[in-house]
Amino acid sequence: MMGTLLISGLVFVSITAAILGVGLMLQGNKNTEIEKRLATLTCGPTSSKGQTTTDSVLARPLQAEVGFGHFLATRFGGCRLFLEQANVPWPLQRILAMTLGLAIVGMVVGITAVQDSLVACLLAATTATLPWGWLYVRRRKRLQEFGRQLPQALDLISRALRAGHSLSSGFELVSTELPDPISAEFRRCYEEQNLGIPFDDAVKAMANRVPDLDLRFLATALVLQRQTGGDLAEVLDKIADLIRGRFKLRGQIQALTGEGRLSGIVLLALPPVLFLVMYYMNPAYCRPLFDDPLGQQMLMAAVASQVVGALVIRKIINIKV
């Protein structure tokens, strides 16, 4: 029994590491050539490897995290920025504790209920990814809502400029008149320049916090206008029209790819649902997939095929605007 538990733990660690590695590879650097050029203008100085350098005194909070969570946050993938973009005020240690706790719960449930080491490891790996999946969904919804609110914010700033207000006053107006999440980001930018940070640097920091291409267009326009001059209100109106046009085109693409997305959902959900139904009706018929070595290989091949199919379908229906 102890050897089985040890093997189960090792397999669980391997599967979890593989899932985290695949997640980091899929996250990657998705910037297009335009985004890279905008990042050069809006995200401050870069290192020799092309990465933004943020190791400054102003970039660190007064009560910075210490310990293992801080080490992970500063070394692996910008976990702190990920939590900030998801608008979750929890420290990284709490997320890691939730991940470990859910993994242990999944392992215990799998061993006690199913009494199969492979199923227990798969269940533990699945439950361990639940907090990060929730954070990813929360972050994605927040960024999408920010993008939808951005044209309205640009119109508000443009009208404020035409009425004789300053650009910083326009940012303050956005922070007080519009709801979250855009009001929180513009309020932070306004408060940063009130505390003495140059306005250009505050705008660049906001563009670095929020990975939105339209916001980088805005930051580039603001920085260039403050350096060269020009009619900023007209520029903001054109950027707002551009963003609305992209939203309209994106809606048309969603309508045209709706059938493909529905077909992908059906094709991906049909095998596991059918397997669960068969396992419920006749467990002995499905046991060779877990007990026999050939059945285990077939099961792993089926899971790999599902993952490859999901990636292919996502590549077909995901048209970037």
The pLDDT assigned to 312 comes to: 86
What would the pLDDT profile of 117-171 be if each residue is shown by its tens digit? 777 787 888 888 888 889 899 999 998 899 889 999 999 999 998 988 888 888 8
pLDDT at 61 over 80: no
3-class SS at 46?
strand
> Alpha-carbon distance 139 to 132, whole Å?
10
What would the pLDDT profile of 5-41 be if each residue is shown by its tens digit? 555 555 565 566 555 555 544 444 444 455 555 554 5
Minimum mean pLDDT range among 59-68, 140-149, 190-199, 273-282: 59-68
Mean predicted confidence (pLDDT) in 88-93: 81
> Alpha-carbon distance 122 to 119, whole Å?
5
The pLDDT assigned to 12 comes to: 60
Contact 135, 83 (CB under 8 A): yes
Conformation bin of residue 196: beta by default, left when phi > 0, alpha when psi is -120 to 50: left
pLDDT at 80 over 70: yes
pLDDT at 297 over 70: yes
* DSSP type of residue 52: B
Q: Which two tokens stand for residue 24?
A: 């980091």
When pLDDT is cut at 50, 70 and 90, the band that residue 4 belongs to is low
> Alpha-carbon distance 73 to 79, whole Å?
5
Q: Which amino acid, one-letter code, is at 178?
A: L
Beta-ladder partners of 46: 52
